């Protein structure tokens, strides 16, 4: 297959284009995915921040009912998987799922380990580090964002339920966002990109093949056919009309064949004008490119078997015209 | 040319053909090595991030994924252009195994930065493209060399018969 000029020309182009387009699409997909996840994380962080600010007044007034309502209402939204507030010890004080209230969260869980990996827990995290992705019991992807509720002078000095001013963090707000819509959007994007890639590949490889076929492969095959037929001695062979370098090559091949025919004619005339011994001598000195069979038997004056003795020894050098 | 001269020249050409036949397979060997590395990387891609945790204190944090993406894009593009340039100029392909080392480093960097599985596929596609082209260029170049050497052998044979 690789001896065919078409295959030899198209294979490297097809490999390079296909491979490079696939690499680019995969990298592009991963970048878009990362951007979408970042946007989703920023959205989650902003939501957590808004919730903390909204809950501040209720917390300062120790209005547990208002805080509970706020958490329940936010948690009722379709995109919100869970909302909970837990204290420094990890005991859940408020949650969108009432069954969770009073339970303790695991410090080694994915969302907690970022701060609790060291001996002393971290007080603050960058926006992106506050987020974690995990799979819930229903097998759905959840992006959870945590925001600390810091101790402020107004909290420490409040008459209702004073905290000591040495306590830096009063609690943690944990918001979980359902990532199924994002996953669905990414899946659609993946399919669209796959179709787009296949279309680009078909157009590029098909275009290259069509152009090569038109400008190189078809004219080259015509040239091959012409060379073969003229080499077989077909004088009336149709001369293909080719443009550019291939056209010049056709003319050169045609001129060579004409010259060859003319030489052969002259030699035949020369042979007919000499005696039999001289003919044998002339044939034995004739260029190796000619076969004895190129000359009529009447001119050589002996049968083919005998004339083989006069032919050059090397069969490789005796290629026919 | 003396008979000894012809014999030694023939041996030299035969040796050249043998070497070319060996070298024409270098690209395929490199491709096979890369596929083996990819299979191993696929099995351990997620665990590379855990392994990297132990080295993080010593070597520092890995570069961000977006930087590695950019490096892979530039590397793939320049490697393909380099192979095409070499094919156009007809120069000898050298270092068929170098891309395997670069691609292995990409696997390690992606793994250490905790990248997603699509990055593995990107490196795999890039490797198959570069090494596929490299092995094609290698095979093509040495096959042409072998054809030239065989023609030379034929010419020697004819010379011997004539003398």
The residue ranges of every structural domain in chain A are 5-178, 235-317
**Residue matched to tokens 């015509």:** A222
Residue-wise pLDDT for A107-159, tens only, equals 766 556 656 666 666 655 555 556 778 777 788 888 888 888 877 766 656 66
**Partners of residue A20 in chain B, C-beta under 8 Å:** 76-77, 80, 129
**What's the confidence (pLDDT) of residue B123?**
93
Contact A79, A177 (CB under 8 A): yes
Residues lower than pLDDT 70 in chain A: 1-3, 108-130, 153-166, 168, 235-237, 279-321
**Residue B132: band (very low, low, confident or very high) from pLDDT cuts 50, 70, 90:** very high
Q: Are B134 and B83 in contact (CB under 8 A)?
A: yes
Q: Do B118 and A33 touch (CB under 8 A)?
A: yes
pLDDT over 80 at B50, yes or no: no
Q: State the average pLDDT over residues B48-54.
A: 66
- If pLDDT is split at 50, 70 and 90, which confidence band does B101 have? very high
Q: In this model, does residue B78 exceed pLDDT 50? A: yes
Q: Which residues 3-62 on chain B approach chain A with CB closer than 8 angstroms? A: none
For B163, residues 6+ apart whose C-beta sits below 8 A from its C-beta are none
**DSSP classification of residue A122:** P
Q: According to the model, what pLDDT value does residue B131 have?
A: 94
Instruction: Give this complex's ipTM.
Output: 0.75
List CB contacts (< 8 A) between A27 and chain B. Answer: 69, 72-73, 122
Rounded Cα distance between A239 and B105, Å, is 58
Averaged pLDDT for residues B111-124 = 84
Share of chain B above pLDDT 90, in %: 33
Q: What is the pLDDT of residue A113?
A: 64
CA distance B140 to chain A (A): 9
Q: Which helix (H) or strand (E) holds A205?
A: helix A180-212
> What is the band of B71 on the pLDDT scale with cuts at 50, 70, 90?
very high
pLDDT at A317: 37
Confidence of residue B40 (pLDDT cuts 50, 70, 90): confident
Residue of B nearest to A18 (CA): B129
Residue B45 is predicted with a pLDDT of: 67
CATH fold for the domain made of A5-178: Beta-Lactamase (3.30.450)
> Which regions of A88-234 does DSSP assign to beta strands (E)?
92-95, 131-135, 141-150, 169-178
Strands of A92-95's sheet in order across: A92-95, A80-87, A169-178, A141-150, A131-135
Q: What percent of chain B has pLDDT over 70?
A: 91
The pLDDT value recorded for residue A303 is: 45
pLDDT of residue A283: 65
Choice between A160 and B126, residue whose per-residue pLDDT is larger:
B126
């Amino acid at each position: 297959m690789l001896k065919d000029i078409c295959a030899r020309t198209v294979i490297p182009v097809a490999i390079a284009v296909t491979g490079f387009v696939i690499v680019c699409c995969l990298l592009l997909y991963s970048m878009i995915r990362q951007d979408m996840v970042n946007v989703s994380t920023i959205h989650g962080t902003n939501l957590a921040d808004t919730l903390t600010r909204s809950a501040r007044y209720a917390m300062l007034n120790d209005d547990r009912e208002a805080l509970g309502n706020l958490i329940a209402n936010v948690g009722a939204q379709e995109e919100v998987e869970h909302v909970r507030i837990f204290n420094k010890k990890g005991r859940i004080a408020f949650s969108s799922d009432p069954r969770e209230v009073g339970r303790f969260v695991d410090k080694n869980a994915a969302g907690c380990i970022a701060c609790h990996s060291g001996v002393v827990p971290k007080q603050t995290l960058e926006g992106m580090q506050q987020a974690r992705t995990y799979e819930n019991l229903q097998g759905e992807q959840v992006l959870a964002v945590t925001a600390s509720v810091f101790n402020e002078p107004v909290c420490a000095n409040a008459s209702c339920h004073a905290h000591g001013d040495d306590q830096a963090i009063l609690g943690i707000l944990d918001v979980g966002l359902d990532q199924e819509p994002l996953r669905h959007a990414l899946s659609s994007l993946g399919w669209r990109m796959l179709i787009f890639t296949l279309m680009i590949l078909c157009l590029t490889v098909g275009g290259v093949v069509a152009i090569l076929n038109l400008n190189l492969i078809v004219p080259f095959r015509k040239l091959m056919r012409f060379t073969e037929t003229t080499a077989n001695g077909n004088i009336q062979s149709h001369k293909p009309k080719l443009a550019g370098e291939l056209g010049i090559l056709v003319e050169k091949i045609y001129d060579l064949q004409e010259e060859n025919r003319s030489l052969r004619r002259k030699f035949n005339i020369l042979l007919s004008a000499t005696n039999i011994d001289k003919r044998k001598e002339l044939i034995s000195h004739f260029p190796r490119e000619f076969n004895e069979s190129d000359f009529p038997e009447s001119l050589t004056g002996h049968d083919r078997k005998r004339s083989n003795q006069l032919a050059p020894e090397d069969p490789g050098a005796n290629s026919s015209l | 040319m003396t008979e000894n001269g012809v014999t030694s020249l023939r041996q030299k050409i035969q040796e050249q053909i043998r070497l070319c036949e060996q070298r024409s397979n270098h690209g395929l060997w490199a491709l096979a090595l890369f596929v083996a590395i990819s299979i191993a990387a696929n099995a351990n891609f997620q665990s590379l991030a855990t392994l990297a945790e132990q080295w993080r204190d010593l070597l520092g944090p890995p570069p961000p994924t977006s930087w590695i993406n950019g490096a892979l894009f530039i590397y793939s593009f320049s490697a393909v252009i380099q192979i095409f340039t070499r094919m156009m100029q007809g120069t000898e392909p050298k270092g068929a195994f170098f891309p395997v080392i670069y691609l292995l480093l990409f696997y390690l960097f992606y793994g250490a930065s905790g990248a997603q599985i699509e990055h593995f596929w990107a490196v795999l596609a890039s490797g198959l493209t570069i090494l596929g082209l490299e092995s094609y260029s290698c095979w093509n170049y040495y096959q042409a060399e072998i054809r030239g050497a065989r023609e030379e052998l034929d010419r020697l044979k004819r010379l011997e018969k004539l003398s």
